[in-house]
Chain A
Amino acid sequence: MKKCSILLLVLIACLALGCKKANIRHELSGTWTIEKAEVSHYTGGVQDSSLTYDNPGTLRLTDTGEKEFNRCLIGLNGYFPRGLQMMINSPEMDSSYVHWFGNSRDRDRLSFWASYNGFPLLNSEYTRTQRGRGPGRTEQWMYIALDDSQRIATKEILTVKLTDGSGKID
């Protein structure tokens, strides 16, 4: 009996290891303060200028238990993150239409999307070039846009700090 119990526990452990799927939503939800936004511009694939914006605002990734329909509440001080610009800086759209989701199998990617009646779905993805652990951690999220010849045109790196990890809507 004892052997069977041990074997059962080992089997469960094996299955847990083999099918491990961490909760990326829990990991990412919360209020992220953008401490710095560095935007580099390229010409012909070569960097020619760079601008830095300090404390441009916050991104609040809410967690309502949905996989992909969690809203991203944006509070910005005149600066629009390049990946979200199309979604929030237009007459038809505003930040209330922006949502976010992560992928447990690709922890390096953070996706945002927005849709409004009659307008195409907009989607952008940030690469988490630097990830952290625990509350108060700092991460770096990168967005890249290409030029007409498929060369890098803009690279934006957001240095963000998780200032409130609750992610719940008040």
Chain B
Amino acid sequence: MDKVNGRKDNLKTMVKVICSIMLVSLLLAGSSGLRAQEVHVWASTGLSTAHNRSFASFAKNFNRYASAEIDKPLGGFGIGTAYNVGASFDFHSDWFGVKLGFFASNLGANAKVGYQTSESRVFELHRHLAGFDLSYGLEFDRSAFYLGMGVQLGNTIIDSYFIYPDGTASHGRERPFNGIYQGLNMGRFFTATYEQKLTDRFSLFAKLSYSGDFGKKAHLSDRNTSRGWTDGWVGSTMLPIKPADYIALLDKPFIPPYDGPWVMNKFSSLSLHIGIDFKLINDPDQK
């Protein structure tokens, strides 16, 4: 319990520090002659990795355990697609700018294992995140370059389902790994953005970002499994052995007694986005 409280305290402290940095930055920006004049909205899409160390470990052991049956081994989530929308409050001087932004983002990626029997299993990843960031940048005649950082929170879902040879995708509990594994998460990210003005109100931008989740012990868990609702089936064809033992066999780093889910809710992502920015409210001085 102390460890849990300790982690919560650390998290709260980290959030407070980041929020404080942002507020102080805004105050400094306000008092340094920058004009707080514009509101922008934007949308972007792009590619993103979704690396999860514990899932990579799970995949490695899964492949080893079922090597005789596998046609295409299970890999990581590879490169997924992401969609983002957001808004920012912009402060400008002649050459320097500060942006305080808010955003929502959706990331989707798949990991798949193929069996020799023409069956397959899909691990479908969805991350729904929202957060805010603060960026500082240099502004040129028709372009700008910003560096920023921020925090995000949201939820992560891994939907695991089985596809039979006739193409039927089943989310049912007839196979042990079918389920929806989810958890809340919080993380920080760093960005580098290049903007190019198209018109007075529209600009295109490319954003490179790296994000990583806080914490080390956040779980992704399936509600049914975690409540032991499948225990009545242990020993049957539906569930030959206990999920915990199954996992313990697969994942060597977790040794019995196994007391947690099989994949931790800790992702890191590198993403590249291209988007369009619209100046919703203009700088009154430029009227």
Contact = CB atoms under 8 A, between A and B. Distances in A.
A6 B280 CA distance: 10
Interface string A111-135: 1010000001111111101000000
B128 interface: yes
Contact of A123 (B102, B130, B230): B230
A164 interface: no
Contacts of B229: 113, 121, 123
Interface in B125-172: 126, 128-130, 132, 154-155, 157, 159, 161, 164-165, 168-172
Contacts of A155: 168
B223 A103 contact: yes
A146 B39 contact: no
Interface residues of B, number: 46
B89 A7 contact: yes
B252 to A, nearest CB: 24
Interface stretch (A15-23, A31-39, A50-58, A90-98): A15-23
A125 B182 contact: no
A146 B232 contact: no
Interface string B221-256: 001100001111100011000000000000000000
22 contacts: A7-B89, A10-B86, A10-B102, A11-B87, A14-B85, A14-B102, A14-B130, A15-B104, A15-B130, A18-B130, A19-B130, A20-B128, A45-B165, A105-B155, A106-B180, A109-B180, A121-B231, A122-B232, A124-B173, A125-B173, A127-B161, A145-B174
